[in-house]
């Protein structure tokens, strides 16, 4: 079974985005980065997709929202894998 596609919505200036991408790389997870640094329309869409979250990064596994960097760390600490 193929694993779910992981997407990371990020901004170029965000240290948590960089940390989340590094953690995913360390875990060997392939992901697609969606840079929303200067994309107001995508930021607005992301707020709707996440139920009101306005921060980056926002990490999805398929349609499932993992959350931000701290959520990703907790996800792995709980023994889950992407």
Full domain range(s) for residue 47: 6-75
Q: How many domains does the chain have?
A: 1
Q: What is the pLDDT of residues 22-57, one digit of tens each?
A: 999 999 999 999 999 999 999 999 999 999 999 999
Nearest Cα residue to 82 out of 17, 23, 4: 4
Residue 45 lies in a domain: yes
Residue 32 lies in a domain: yes
pLDDT at 20: 98
Residue 1 lies in a domain: no
Nearest Cα residue to 64 out of 19, 4, 18, 20: 4
We report the CATH number of the domain holding residue 13 as 3.40.30.10
Q: What is the pLDDT of residues 1-27, one digit of tens each?
A: 455 699 999 999 999 999 999 999 999
pTM, to two decimals: 0.93
Residue 63 lies in a domain: yes
pLDDT at 55: 97
């Amino acid at each position: 079974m193929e694993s779910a596609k992981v997407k990371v919505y990020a901004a170029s200036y965000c240290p948590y985005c960089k940390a989340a991408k590094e953690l995913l790389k360390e875990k060997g997870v392939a992901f697609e980065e969606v840079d929303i640094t200067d994309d107001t329309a995508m930021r607005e869409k992301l707020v709707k997709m996440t139920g009101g979250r306005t921060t980056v990064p926002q990490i999805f596994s398929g349609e499932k929202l993992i959350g931000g960097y701290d959520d990703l760390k907790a996800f792995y600490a709980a023994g889950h894998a992407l």
